[in-house]
Amino acid sequence: MGENAAIGKDLARRLFDEAFNARDLAVLEELVAVDYTEHALAPFGSEEPGPVNGPAHMRGVIEWLVDQYPDLHMDVTAVVGDGDLVAVRAISEGTNNGKLNGFMPPTGRRFRAEQSHWYRVASGRLVEHWAVRDDLRTMQQLGVIPGPEIVP
């Protein structure tokens, strides 16, 4: 494993543990590059944000999520690094006690969802991000979208 992969694994773990879970948003200045490219769509979004100010963007993402799910927790179950890429498998869970997606009334229900996050690392910072989330299953757990009926 190269130096970038080892650095990236540390950066990714710290992002989840310190920023998302401990809500230490000041640490984002150390972890995320100012010149950052965001490929992950918001749930049911249609456009990637693209080039953004990394620390400010990530701060906004965390605040947006915590407003919806005050007890949000991201459990990192695996981190793999190769070259300048790092992949994180995480389980995200929380209770929707704030306006869902910023406008829908809170459901008061919990969700638990697996996610994969990929980061590119350069100059000791996270510089690019892609995500795969099961937003449909999350919305079903929250009762926003009905789940499939199973007929015996």
Model confidence band, residue 150 (pLDDT cutoffs 50, 70, 90): low
User: What percentage of the chain has pLDDT greater than the value 70?
Assistant: 96
Instruction: Please state the domain extents for the chain.
Output: 3-141
Provide the edge-to-edge strand list for the sheet that holds 85-95: 50-53, 32-38, 125-133, 110-122, 85-95, 73-82
Q: Is the dihedral of CA 36, 39, 45, 89 positive or negative?
A: negative
pLDDT value, residue 76: 98
Q: d(Cα 127, Cα 83) in Å, to the nearest integer?
A: 14
Residues 6+ apart with CB under 8 A from 152: none
**pTM (two decimals):** 0.92
Give the number of residues written for the chain. 152
By the 8 A CB rule, do 23 and 62 touch? yes
The fold for domain 3-141 equals: Nuclear Transport Factor 2; Chain: A, (3.10.450)
Model confidence band, residue 152 (pLDDT cutoffs 50, 70, 90): low
Q: d(Cα 82, Cα 118) in Å, to the nearest integer?
A: 11
Quick: pLDDT tens for 46-74. 899 999 999 999 999 999 999 999 999 99
Model confidence band, residue 16 (pLDDT cutoffs 50, 70, 90): very high
Model confidence band, residue 139 (pLDDT cutoffs 50, 70, 90): very high
pLDDT of residue 40 exceeding 70: yes
Q: d(Cα 122, Cα 111) in Å, to the nearest integer?
A: 34
